[in-house]
């Protein structure tokens, strides 16, 4: 256990260095010119600051002691030029570092989005989307801050401090020694504070992501919240999370700001000691005050860079924790990578065959057990059975949202695990139980099915899905924004747009996961007719909650508790008095009217 603890401490101590190396390796080359210019500007800032302190001896001695007016003009001109240079250099490095930082943030946002798109559906089923979004929005700036803090601290603060210390030593070595004696205890105290701040910062980021995630989920599900009067319960829950986040933020504030009394105490002790020593030398030894004023100016000017450097490790700990959480997400490996040498899927008949397929989510019990059946090309295969029978899982296995634990799935004799996912999904159109619409117009949402579809093809797909009429009734027709997830549309309208999106894809395989479940009877009847036309010539695998919608299916596969229990046409299955399909069919038959 002790060895494990030592190992953890070693890893923690190397955190800043390892993250800094990775950030520089990934971004340094792309921005080397910008950073070189920023460093040049920062060097000018450091040297001009040191020059201001150095020249104070001449100001005091020549202007006030020797009273040489000719030299005063030269000194004042030099000071003016130094300040002008520092102003332009400050502007230059600030704008340059901001542009580089914004570019880095944008680059990592693109990387994160692309990487999230490469992760499997299983990853998102285990991680809460709202919390992922919250963490990304909070943490992505950490990468930028790591680099900017390193550059500004090294090129400006450290160089300025070294330059001013050089001025101090040149002007009075004894006074400089007083300052250096006080510094080691301060550095030790700051190191202790930064170690405690690391874990508190990590916990704070996680808690804040929970807060933002809870708020986002509440907003998305506000109708359910209102319908079930969940306001008070959710308020208590979120209030508890906010309270924890507040306490953690307060702890971070206490730890972070402990540097203030430490640095102020150090500065007060150093300056008071210097003043006392210099005053006694001037009073009793008659030493000219010029060197002393130059020393004190250098000491006072050194206070700001020293204070920033003292807080550097605290700030770096916070930035590194953010950066590490971003890298943890970027380093998450996709679970369903294409095999080396995977080929594109070639589809002719679009026949789908399940060969002894077994599947379980995570380490749980199998939800699909030894399933074998064939969905013949160009025909409709319906999956029916009680809730929890595994029907949706079967649908999700075909486009490889998940990979089976055992067995094979073949399309035209090709194992789908041996082909690229992109080519597999290119031949599939999918309509889920819960229709999802994206930000944009109605036309945009239908065209997501096939980005190169023409306006005429989009409208034809909408007509087949019986969506054309209600679309034209919208304020701007096909150009009407749908709102967040289509909040301005009814459930049936959203589902019809989802079906239109699948139809415009014009794929040989059509997967319908209870595609008409959100429609009223009239809309369902209309869409069912449209689907019958759209199904012609395609391989269709459909899940239906109402058996009346699949009576014309070429094959019906009946599932129960993850197993295939019956298979056949509606007529043959309905005649089996002891069969599961017959029982389900009898339960859904309309009651006789008197």
How far CA 57 is from CA of 290, 293, 321, in Å, comes to 4, 6, 45
Over the chain, what is the mean pLDDT? 80
Q: 140 pLDDT exceeds 60? A: yes
Looking at residue 6, its pLDDT comes to: 40
* Residue pLDDT, tens place only, 334-357: 777 888 888 999 999 999 999 999
Is residue 82 classed as helix, strand or coil in its secondary structure?
helix
Half-sphere exposure of 327 (CA within 13 A, CB side): 16
Looking at residue 12, its pLDDT comes to: 43
Q: Give the start-end residues of each E strand in 449-517.
A: 509-513
526-530: long-range contacts, CB 8 A cutoff, minimum separation 24: 526/466, 527/465, 527/466, 527/495, 527/496, 527/499, 530/464, 530/465, 530/466, 530/499
CA distance 516 to 431: 9
What's the rounded mean pLDDT across residues 506-535? 74
Which residues lie closer than 8 Å to 413 by C-beta, 6 or more apart? Answer: 351, 353
Q: What is the DSSP string of 246-315?
A: HHHHHHHHHHHHTHHHHHHHHHHHHHHHHHHHHHHHHHHH---HHHHHHHHHHHHHHHHHHHHHHHHHHH
Cβ burial 105-141 (10 Å sphere, 16+ → b, else e) = bebbeeebeeebeebbebbeeeebebbbebbbebbbb
What's the rounded mean pLDDT across residues 184-210? 67
Instruction: Name the most confidently modeled range: 10-19, 136-145, 508-517, 585-594.
Output: 508-517
* Residue pLDDT, tens place only, 444-470: 999 988 889 999 999 999 988 888 988
Q: 102 pLDDT exceeds 80? A: yes
pLDDT band at 411 (very low <50, low <70, confident <90, very high): very high
Looking at residue 17, its pLDDT comes to: 80
* Residue pLDDT, tens place only, 8-48: 333 343 467 888 888 888 888 888 898 889 889 988 988 88
Q: Give the start-end residues of each E strand in 311-455.
A: 352-359, 368-375, 380-384, 406-411, 414-415, 428-431
Looking at residue 128, its pLDDT comes to: 64
CA distance 134 to 140: 10
Looking at residue 280, its pLDDT comes to: 74
Looking at residue 490, its pLDDT comes to: 78
Q: What is the DSSP string of 168-188?
A: HHHH-HHHHHHHHHHHHHHHH
The H or E element that residue 555 is part of is strand 555-560
Q: Which residue in 346, 494, 358 sits closest to 411, CA to CA?
A: 346
Looking at residue 592, its pLDDT comes to: 44
CA distance 315 to 309: 10
C-alpha 232, offset from chain centre: 30
314 vs 297 pLDDT, higher one: 297
Looking at residue 240, its pLDDT comes to: 84
Which residues lie closer than 8 Å to 119 by C-beta, 6 or more apart? Answer: 332, 334, 335
* Residue pLDDT, tens place only, 256-294: 666 667 667 776 776 677 777 767 776 776 666 677 778
What's the rounded mean pLDDT across residues 404-417? 93
* Residue pLDDT, tens place only, 4-15: 344 333 334 346
Looking at residue 88, its pLDDT comes to: 93
Looking at residue 456, its pLDDT comes to: 93
Q: 303 pLDDT exceeds 60? A: yes
pLDDT band at 427 (very low <50, low <70, confident <90, very high): very high
CA distance 355 to 164: 78
Instruction: Name the most confidently modeled range: 19-33, 100-114, 401-415.
Output: 401-415
CA distance 181 to 70: 41
Instruction: Name the most confidently modeled range: 60-74, 160-174, 515-529.
Output: 160-174
Which residues lie closer than 8 Å to 184 by C-beta, 6 or more apart? Answer: none
Task: Summarize the chain as % helix, strand, coil (round to 5).
Answer: 65, 10, 25
CA distance 384 to 579: 13
Q: 93 pLDDT exceeds 80? A: yes
What's the rounded mean pLDDT across residues 71-78? 82
What is the percentage of the chain residues whose pLDDT exceeds 90?
17
Structural contact between residues 134 and 212, judged by C-beta atoms closer than 8 angstroms: yes
Choices 2.40.50.140, 3.40.50.11540, 3.40.50.300, 3.80.30.20: CATH for 352-588: 3.40.50.300
Q: What is the CATH number of domain 15-330?
A: 1.20.1560.10
CA distance 380 to 351: 11
Q: Where are the domains of the chain?
A: 15-330, 352-588
Q: In what order do the strands lie in the sheet with 509-513?
A: 428-431, 509-513, 539-543, 380-384, 555-560, 563-568
CA distance 568 to 544: 16
Q: 376 pLDDT exceeds 70? A: yes
Q: 573 pLDDT exceeds 80? A: yes
Structural contact between residues 301 and 53, judged by C-beta atoms closer than 8 angstroms: yes
Looking at residue 354, its pLDDT comes to: 95
* Residue pLDDT, tens place only, 465-512: 888 988 999 889 999 988 766 677 877 788 888 888 988 888 899 998
Q: 590 pLDDT exceeds 60? A: no
532 vs 1 pLDDT, higher one: 532
pLDDT band at 397 (very low <50, low <70, confident <90, very high): very high
Looking at residue 129, its pLDDT comes to: 65
Residue carrying the six token digits 């005649």: 575
CA distance 527 to 266: 78
pLDDT band at 420 (very low <50, low <70, confident <90, very high): very high
Looking at residue 591, its pLDDT comes to: 47
Q: In the chain, what is the straight-line distance between the N-terminal and C-terminal CA atoms, in Å? A: 78
Looking at residue 358, its pLDDT comes to: 94
């Amino acid at each position: 256990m002790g060895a494990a603890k030592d190992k953890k401490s070693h890893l923690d101590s190397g955190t800043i260095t390892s993250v800094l190396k990775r950030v520089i390796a990934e971004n340094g080359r792309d921005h080397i010119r910008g950073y070189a210019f920023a460093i040049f500007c920062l060097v000018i800032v450091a040297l001009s600051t040191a020059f201001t302190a150095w020249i104070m001896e001449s100001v005091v001695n020549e202007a006030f002691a020797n009273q040489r007016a000719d030299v005063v003009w030269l000194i004042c001109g030099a000071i003016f030029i130094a300040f002008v240079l520092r102003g332009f250099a400050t502007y230059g490095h600030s704008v340059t570092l901001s542009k580089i930082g914004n570019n880095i943030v944008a680059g990592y946002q693109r990387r994160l989005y692309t990487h999230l798109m490469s992760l499997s559906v299983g990853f998102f089923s285990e991680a809460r989307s709202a919390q992922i979004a919250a963490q990304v929005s909070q943490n992505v700036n950490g990468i930028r801050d790591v680099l900017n803090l390193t550059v500004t601290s090294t090129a400006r603060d450290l160089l300025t401090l070294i330059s001013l210390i050089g001025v101090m030593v040149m002007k009075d070595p004894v006074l400089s020694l007083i300052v250096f004696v006080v510094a080691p205890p301060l550095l030790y105290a700051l190191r202790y504070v930064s170690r405690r701040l690391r874990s508190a910062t990590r916990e704070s980021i996680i808690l804040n992501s929970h807060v933002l995630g809870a708020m986002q989920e509440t907003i998305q599900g506000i109708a359910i919240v209102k319908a079930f009067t969940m306001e008070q319960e959710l308020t208590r829950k979120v209030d508890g999370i906010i309270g924890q986040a507040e306490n953690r933020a307060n702890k971070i504030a206490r730890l972070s700001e402990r540097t203030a009394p430490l640095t102020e105490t150090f500065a007060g002790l150093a300056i008071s000691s210097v003043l006392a020593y210099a005053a006694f030398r001037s009073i009793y030894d008659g030493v000219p005050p010029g060197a002393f004023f130059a020393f004190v100016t250098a000491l006072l000017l050194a206070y700001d860079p020293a204070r920033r450097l003292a807080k550097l490790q605290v700030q770096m700990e916070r930035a590194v924790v953010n950066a590490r959480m971003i890298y943890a997400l970027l380093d998450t490996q996709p679970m369903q990578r294409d095999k080396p040498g995977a080929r594109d899927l070639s589809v002719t008949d679009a026949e789908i065959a399940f060969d002894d397929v077994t599947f379980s989510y995570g380490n749980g019990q199998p939800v699909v057990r030894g399933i074998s059946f064939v969905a013949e090309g160009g025909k409709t295969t319906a999956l029916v059975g009680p809730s929890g029978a595994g029907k949706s899982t079967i649908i999700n296995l075909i486009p490889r949202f998940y990979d089976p634990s055992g067995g094979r799935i073949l399309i035209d004799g090709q194992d789908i695990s041996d082909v690229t996912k992109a080519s597999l999904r290119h031949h599939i159109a999918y309509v889920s139980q819960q229709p999802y619409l994206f930000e944009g117009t109605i036309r945009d949402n239908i065209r997501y099915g096939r980005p190169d579809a023409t306006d005429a093809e989009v409208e034809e797909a909408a007509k087949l899905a019986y969506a054309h009429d209600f679309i034209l009734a919208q304020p701007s027709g096909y150009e009407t924004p749908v709102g967040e997830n289509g909040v301005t549309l009814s459930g049936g309208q959203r589902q019809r747009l989802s079906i239109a999106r699948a139809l415009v894809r014009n794929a040989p395989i059509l997967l319908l996961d209870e595609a008409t479940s959100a429609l009223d009877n009239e809309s369902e009847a209309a869409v069912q007719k449209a689907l019958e036309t759209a199904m012609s010539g395609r391989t269709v695998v459909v899940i239906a909650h109402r058996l009346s919608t699949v009576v014309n299916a070429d094959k019906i596969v009946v599932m129960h508790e993850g197993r295939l229990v019956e298979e056949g046409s509606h007529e043959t299955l309905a005649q089996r008095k002891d069969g599961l399909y017959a029982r389900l069919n009898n339960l859904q038959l309309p009651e006789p009217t008197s």
